[in-house]
Amino acid sequence: MVKKSLKLITTGQDEDRINQLSSTSVPYRLREIKQFETQNYAELEKAIHKIFDPFRINRSREFFIDDSLELADAIVAIHKQIIIRFTPPSLLTASYL
């Protein structure tokens, strides 16, 4: 079975970033398959990259085999609980309340 690859990008740049990446050395068109809302994207992205590290296709690139995607929901849920627990309620966005 051929493995598909996964690339993490930030919300707000999705279509532009997909077009940009698709015009580089990626041999196929990228598409969005999952989107998460978070209050602290930078921290979540670091955590996901660390956890997904064993799934990297190439050590020098940030593409991962799609098997890693099944972990994403759990990682985001844990991250959300950390944000809720340690962020003052007045600083939480509506999606966290």
* Number of domains making up the chain: 1
**What single string gives the DSSP state of each residue in the chain?**
-PPPEEE---TTSHHHHHHHHHTTT-SS----------S-HHHHHHHHHHHHGGGBSSTTS-EEEGGGHHHHHHHHHHHHHHHHHHS-GGGS-GGG-
Percent of the chain with pLDDT over 70: 80
Domain that holds residue 73: 5-96
34 pLDDT above the threshold of 70? yes
Mean pLDDT over 14-22 rounds to 73
**Predicted TM-score (pTM) above 0.75:** no
- What pLDDT, on the 0 to 100 scale, is given for residue 65? 84
pLDDT tens for 45-64 read 888 888 889 988 888 888 88
pLDDT tens for 62-72 read 888 888 888 88
